[in-house]
Structure 1
Amino acid sequence: MKKIIFIFISCSISLINFGQSTKEQDQKSIKSMAGCYEVTFNYAETFSPDKNYKFHDREKTHALELAKIIEDTGDKISIQHLLIVGSKDSAMIVKHWRQDWIYQNTDLYTFDKGTKWKYKSLPKSEVLGQWTQKVYQVDDSPRYQGSSTWIHVDNKNYWENNADAPLPRREYTQRDDYNVLNRTNRQEITDYGWIHIQDNRKILRKKKSKDILIAQERGENVYKKVNPERCLAAEQWWSQNSSIWDKVRNSWDKVYKRNKDLIMKKQKNDIELFEILSKYNTDVSQKEIDKEINKFVEK
């Protein structure tokens, strides 16, 4: 009997240590996505059930981008992406997307259609050992969220999840034949940086009817690490402007913590939220930002 108890205790300790080791591997993988990168964005439509569908042209663009860790508490790691546009001497910085990674998170916002996100509470038993990736638009409004387990096996190091999202910025002013991008996202760490692989389904979603598949798309965004000095302009820009976006995130956190379905307004007086936020100076108050963001949130 003592031998059985000893074996049970030993196995339990091993499992605990394995869990801790895995979490440390996860954290290392997530944080390795930070850095200065040359990025190649590749997209190609691959299939449509409609024989008369006209496939859109393939897209391939390049960018220089800083991915900067702006918060790290162990259970939450936040990475802000900043695009660097133009020459070294006259670089313009564009605040890009943000990804938050949260350990064993139970609160999600899932995209429905239009400008509506549904709040979803996950059971704790479903998220054990998992990380939620929460991706945000340039104005820090939601884009897509999902919870999965990081995989570290056979020299592979990746996280994969499926989630619905609005149309990407590259298409949301160009297309009206679909209204939901169902994304299978895979973040895979490589020896040169990392790659964001997407298997996307462009869907037309209507009320009280089945989703209609318009086309499938493959995306491969390749992040190759380069000399950090090439991203110094973005580092300096963030140092000067981060206090504004700290307040923006604080304001959005108040909205998200309501734990209720969220409906956004695309524009207010023909102006998008990002246009308003990007014009603020560092002396803007938290109260003013709260007020502005709430104008874009349906009560």
Structure 2
Amino acid sequence: MKLTTLIGAALLATTAIASPALADGPIADRGEAVERAHFQRDRETILSMAGDYKVRFDMQESTPWMEGYEPLDRKISGGYESVRVIEDTGTKIVLQHLLVVGDEGEEFVIKHWRQDWEYEPEKILAYTGPNTWEWKTMPERMRNGRWSQTVYQVDDSPRYAGWGEWQDSQGIRRWRSNWTTRPLARRDAVRHPIYDRYEGINRHQLTPTGWIHWQDNTKMMPDASAEDGLKPVVQEYVLNTYDRFDGYNTGAADAYWAATKDYWAAVRDMWAEVAEANGGITIEEEAETGTVISGRLLTIGNELQEGTIAQDAAIAEARALIGEATAPGAASTRRTAAAGADY
């Protein structure tokens, strides 16, 4: 057999073996009936993440990629979280997370993170560096059959976005993102570490008792000598577990949302207007609070529930805050670390 024939056969064999592992490759058109079935199954999976949960956040730095760096000790925390569907247009599903904290009879609600799922979007609002989010085109060849997930912070400002396919393998239903850039979570930001962002892959997987959010994070720091201006510091693995549980005051979450949902809908619209008008969002962030207006936006929500501010006044103040904080030149050029929750 000729050498070229042997080489060709070897390459074909290698391709045949490797192809199933190319999870990020384009999804070939599977026909309308099959695509519709996948779409409906995906929707059911995303919607099933709504409910009431006992949540466990498990964070562990592991492998140092930089000599002399000592990985942090493992950190575990948790609480109670209600997840509600606040929008469903068919191709877009919005899930709002609400933390319920405090002793029995004295519970209070903290508006937590939000996740927006969109089917075959043309663009996503991606984090591109300190204080900055920009619209990024989702590659056309990668849109078929895929969903984007955009995560928003407690004040509905953006946090990160990625895209991926819902798949069934080994009897498990899972979604895996592309490589996604994220600002620091509060657990890291308040320490003012040498790294300033995560490059990670997010996975959402259904379990018999709920679902998990699994993060595979590489913590990165600026380095002008590196090819892309960044170098890795340490690896981190985060497992957020949501187990269905209603043994807490779930009514507190629903009462808070009933009182504030129209206000937060207006806030979401304001952020969307800014992103569309400016090609993204630039806003200064602080390690302790997230965006510089996050604390006040949340406080307005509490005042609205308590009846100490009228809804029109609440929305007007929020609009002014967002407009001023996102105006050109409003964000400081100093290095700041974004502060979010453990997601």
Alignment partner, residue 108 of structure 1: 124
What residue ranges of structure 2 are gaps of 5+ in the alignment? 1-28, 305-310, 329-343
Does the CA-based 8 Å contact 2:98-2:111 persist in structure 1? Answer: yes
1:42-98, CA deviations, whole angstroms, 9 ceiling, x for partnerless residues? 000110123421221210001100011100111110000011111220001101000
Q: How far apart are residue 272 of structure 1 and its match?
A: 2.6
Which among 253, 278, 283 is matched to residue 298 of structure 2?
A: 278
CA distance 1:259–1:23, shift in 2 (3 Å): farther
Alpha-carbon distance in 1 for matches of 2:280, 2:116: 20
| SS of equivalent residue, structure 1 residue 22 | helix
Alignment partner, residue 53 of structure 2: 37
Alpha-carbon distance in 1 for matches of 2:120, 2:225: 33
Q: How far apart are residue 207 of structure 1 and its match?
A: 5.4
Which among 200, 208, 217 is matched to residue 191 of structure 1?
A: 208
Alignment partner, residue 297 of structure 1: 326
Alpha-carbon distance in 1 for matches of 2:113, 2:161: 13
| Aligned amino acid, residue 256 of structure 1 | A
| Aligned amino acid, residue 262 of structure 1 | I
- Report the TM-score when normalising by structure 2: 0.78
Q: How far apart are residue 229 of structure 1 and its match?
A: 6.3
Alignment partner, residue 6 of structure 1: none
| Aligned amino acid, residue 165 of structure 1 | R
Alpha-carbon distance in 1 for matches of 2:278, 2:293: 22
CA distance 1:235–1:201, shift in 2 (3 Å): same
Does the CA-based 8 Å contact 1:111-1:144 persist in structure 2? Answer: yes
Does the CA-based 8 Å contact 1:64-1:84 persist in structure 2? Answer: yes
Q: Does 1:59 pair with 2:78? A: no
CA distance 1:53–1:207, shift in 2 (3 Å): closer
Alignment partner, residue 172 of structure 1: 189
Does the CA-based 8 Å contact 1:244-1:284 persist in structure 2? Answer: no
1:10-48, CA deviations, whole angstroms, 9 ceiling, x for partnerless residues? xxx972111001001100110111100000000001101
Q: How far apart are residue 123 of structure 1 and its match?
A: 4.1
| SS of equivalent residue, structure 1 residue 177 | coil
Alignment partner, residue 148 of structure 2: 132
Does the CA-based 8 Å contact 2:100-2:249 persist in structure 1? Answer: no
CA distance 1:256–1:159, shift in 2 (3 Å): same
Q: How far apart are residue 114 of structure 1 and its match?
A: 1.3
Which among 190, 197, 219 is matched to residue 202 of structure 1?
A: 219
Q: How far apart are residue 259 of structure 1 and its match?
A: 6.0
What residue ranges of structure 1 are gaps of 5+ in the alignment? 1-12
Q: How far apart are residue 228 of structure 1 and its match?
A: 7.3
Q: Tell me the matched-pair count.
A: 286
Alpha-carbon distance in 2 for matches of 1:143, 1:75: 21
Q: How far apart are residue 212 of structure 1 and its match?
A: 1.0
Alignment partner, residue 9 of structure 1: none
1:142-197, CA deviations, whole angstroms, 9 ceiling, x for partnerless residues? 11101111112442111111200100122111133101111211000111000111
Q: How far apart are residue 256 of structure 1 and its match?
A: 2.0
Alignment partner, residue 17 of structure 2: none
CA distance 1:89–1:131, shift in 2 (3 Å): same
Alignment partner, residue 243 of structure 1: 262
Structure 1 residue runs of 4 or more that deviate by more than 6 Å after TM superposition: none
Q: How far apart are residue 283 of structure 1 and its match?
A: 3.4
User: Root-mean-square deviation (CA), in Å?
Assistant: 2.2
| Aligned amino acid, residue 65 of structure 2 | P
Q: How far apart are residue 273 of structure 1 and its match?
A: 1.1
| SS of equivalent residue, structure 1 residue 170 | helix
| SS of equivalent residue, structure 2 residue 80 | strand
Alpha-carbon distance in 1 for matches of 2:120, 2:278: 17
Alpha-carbon distance in 1 for matches of 2:155, 2:45: 26
| Aligned amino acid, residue 147 of structure 1 | W
Does the CA-based 8 Å contact 1:131-1:148 persist in structure 2? Answer: yes
CA distance 1:258–1:206, shift in 2 (3 Å): farther
Alignment partner, residue 221 of structure 1: 240
| SS of equivalent residue, structure 1 residue 279 | helix
Alignment partner, residue 7 of structure 1: none
Does the CA-based 8 Å contact 1:36-1:230 persist in structure 2? Answer: no
- Report the TM-score when normalising by structure 1: 0.89
Q: Does 1:93 pair with 2:93? A: no
